[in-house]
Structures are given as C-alpha cells and as structure tokens.
Amino acid sequence: MVWLGGPRRRSQEWIRGRGIFLHDAPPGYRPPRRRVPLQERERELRQERTLLRVASVVLALAAAAFVVIVLVFIAIHA
C-alpha cells in the first residue's frame, strides 16, 4: 500500500479519517528512504569500498592474463 499524504502525527484530536492509501503503487513510484544511522552508512561505504577493491584486483588480473595469452599466441605463430 502507498500512503499519499496527510498529517504525520495521529495523536491530535482534529484529525479525522485515515488519509489516502492506494493498494497498488503507480508506475515508477519509489517509497521515501528511511533515515539511515551514521554507523550503518559508514558500514555500507566500507563494504562498497572493499567490493570495489576486490573487483579492481580481479579485473586487473584478468586483463594481465589476457595480455599474456595474446603474447603467447603471437610468440607461437611468429
């Protein structure tokens, strides 16, 4: 369900009704992001940085292996 708006606090006496809810979200709807604590954001950044480092090392090794294979083929056929 998608909440479309209205007062945020329900404890006030003058609020009547429940607000507007849609059972099916419209196309392209993205729910609002919740506030993420600083420690959680730092942890996610560390994980992303580690993943990026690992991916960079793997890509560099794969590129080096490809270059070596090409050089070996050239040396064999020359």
pLDDT for 33 equals: 77
pLDDT for 49 equals: 98
SS3 track for the chain: CEECCCCCCCCCCCCCCCCCEECCCCCCCCCCCCCCCHHHHHHHHHHHHHHHHHHHHHHHHHHHHHHHHHHHHHHHHC
* More confidently predicted of 21 and 65: 65
pTM equals 0.53
> What is the dihedral sign for C-alpha 55, 57, 58, 59?
positive
Task: Indicate if the pLDDT at residue 76 is higher than 80.
Answer: yes
pLDDT single digits (tens) 5-64:
655 555 554 445 556 666 777 788 777 778 889 999 999 999 999 999 999 999 999 999
